[in-house]
A and B are shown apart, each in its own frame.
Chain A
Amino acid sequence: MTVYAALMAALIAAGAYIAVPVGPVPIVLQNMFVLLAGLLLGWRWGPAAVAVYLLAGVCGLPVFAGGTGGIGRLAGPTGGYLLGYLPAAAAVGWISQRAENRTFLDVAGLIVGTAIVYLCGVPWLKMVTGMSLSKSLAVGMVPFLLGDGLKIVAAAAIAKAIRPVIRKDSGAAATHEYSRS
């Protein structure tokens, strides 16, 4: 699991650079990978992956959205979103683990997780910038909701496809794959 968590952290980091061009605005995969960390690794290892990612960012590696890094970023206006990733991944993992492979639980978890990110992010934004609540919402949440909706649908579908690949006893999956190929 250590390797998986590190891999997921790397995916979140790489997600800052992988974009799907949809219309004029590219959709960045970063926050989708955060939610997927919770879905795929569960409520303990999901946040662990996010923590490793944040630690790498604090060290100044260019892993935060837009390729920046540093403590300054964590303390800056968008720091709340980044810190919100932690409880969000935990919540997604916890909710989706209530039962095996239930799509509606996955989706519920994803919605709650997304909400948590904004719950941490928007007040923080308001506090740091001194904007009014309505302006904070207008800048820091409303423009992204459509994209988040798409990502929730996508994340649920992806989790369904990827779960069989991940086995709790690492090493076995690759062997199994070879034995079938």
Chain B
Amino acid sequence: MAELTAFGYHPGDSVLHRLDPRFKLVCLIATSLTVLDSGMAALGLWSAACAILLVKTGVSMPRLLRELRYFGVLILFVFVARAFSAGGDPLVRFWGIGPSRQGMMEGALVGWRLGLVVLLGLSLMATTRSWQVKAAVESLLRPVPFIPHKRAATMIGLLFRFIPQILSAARETADAQKARGIGNRRNPVFRLVKLAVPLLRKTFLDADRLAAAMEARCYTEDRSTPPLSAAAGDWSFLAAVCALSAVAWVLSRL
């Protein structure tokens, strides 16, 4: 358990750490929307802003990149798919199809957008404690009817806690099986079952123990967590994000 994934909380005292979690959530929702609609110039702007904030959080970059390697494969896949399918004049031809300039540009654009959205999400997860997320979700959902906001918020908070735990358990299981030569088994169903059953069993038992430990400490959904308070700094951060969004919007439409 000592080895942690990049998905967990990293204690620190950076701008992002101190920001009111509600503002972080709102900003994240807003930026992930605008990023998916941005052009190259705007993406550059976003990436620069994101990179500065991420470096300030103190999350180790090499580990972050290693964590995201599967995701890198996916981006590559998207890139290749776009490059080949977007039409236009192919640069090189194999068997009648080939990557086109437009396709490559488009693929790079889409890949960049996706990558940035992931980084934005990760920077939230790295700088926000699960009770903060819970409190933020609760306060943001309160005006929405028909949603049990307290329970939903509790579950989101738990989800936050479980994700790193599941990922590290998955890695442990996969390593144990590699050590016993699962690489030699070709049957995909066999491998799926053999990975998922121990993983699920372990995580469900862990969840059970966690539930017992929480219950033993009088857990209720109605707890006295520190109040969220929006300071001037939070509003100015929000304003900065809005301004950046506006600039990005204009840049994307030039």
A145 within 8 A of B: no
In whole Å, how far is A10's beta carbon from the nearest beta carbon of chain B?
Answer: 3
What residues on B are CB-neighbors of A153 within 8 Å? 189
| Stretch in A17-25, A85-93, A101-109, A110-118 with 4+ CB within 8 Å of B | A17-25
The answer to whether A138 has its CB under 8 Å from any CB of chain B is no
Q: Is the CB of B189 within 8 A of A150?
A: yes
B210 interface residue, CB < 8 Å from A?
yes
Binary CB contact string for chain B from 134 to 174 against chain A (1 if under 8 A, 0 otherwise): 00010000000000000110111011011100110010000
Give the residues in chain A near B192, CB-CB below 8 Å: 20, 27, 29, 32, 150-151, 154, 158
B212 located at the interface, meaning its Cβ lies under 8 Å from any Cβ of chain A in the complex: yes
A59 pairs with B29, CB closer than 8 A: yes
Residues of chain B from 166 to 209 with CB closer than 8 A to chain A in the complex: 166-167, 170, 188-189, 191-193, 195-197, 199-201, 203-205, 207-209
Judging by beta carbons under 8 Å apart, are A53 and B159 in contact? yes
Known contacts A59-B25, A62-B122, A161-B197; is A6 also within 8 Å of B158 by CB?
Answer: yes
Are A67 and B68 within 8 A (Cβ)? Answer: yes
Q: Is the CB of B205 within 8 A of A165?
A: yes
Within the complex, the shortest CB–CB distance from A107 to chain B, in Å, comes to: 13
Interface string of A46-86 (1 = CB under 8 A from B): 00100111011011111100111111110010000000000
In the bound assembly, the distance between CA atoms of A130 and B196 in angstroms comes to 37
Q: Which residues of B contact A69 (CB under 8 A)?
A: 32, 117-118, 121
Asked whether A99 is an interface residue with its Cβ less than 8 Å from the other chain, the reply is: no
Of the candidates B117, B122, B170, the one having the most CB atoms from chain A within 10 angstroms of its own CB is B117
Q: How far is the CB of B38 from chain A (nearest CB, A)?
A: 11
Interface residue count for B (Cβ, 8 Å)?
Answer: 59
Complex: A72 Cα to B121 Cα, angstroms: 14
Contacts of A11 in B (CB 8 A): 162, 166, 200, 203
Known A-B contacts A59-B28, A161-B201; A2 and B118 likewise in contact (beta carbons under 8 Å): no
B33 touches A72 (CB 8 A): yes
What residue of chain B has the Cβ atom nearest to residue A161's Cβ?
A: B197
Can you list, as one digit per residue, whether each of A4-38 has a CB less than 8 Å from chain B (1) or not (0)?
A: 11110111011001111011001101001000100
Binding site for A on B (CB under 8 A): 25, 28-29, 31-33, 35-37, 68, 70-71, 73-75, 78, 114, 117-118, 120-122, 124-125, 137, 151-152, 154-156, 158-159, 161-163, 166-167, 170, 188-189, 191-193, 195-197, 199-201, 203-205, 207-212, 215
B-binding residues in A (CB < 8 A): 2-7, 9-11, 13-14, 17-20, 22-23, 26-27, 29, 32, 36, 48, 51-53, 55-56, 58-63, 66-73, 76, 150-151, 153-154, 157-158, 161-162, 165-166, 170-171, 173-175, 177
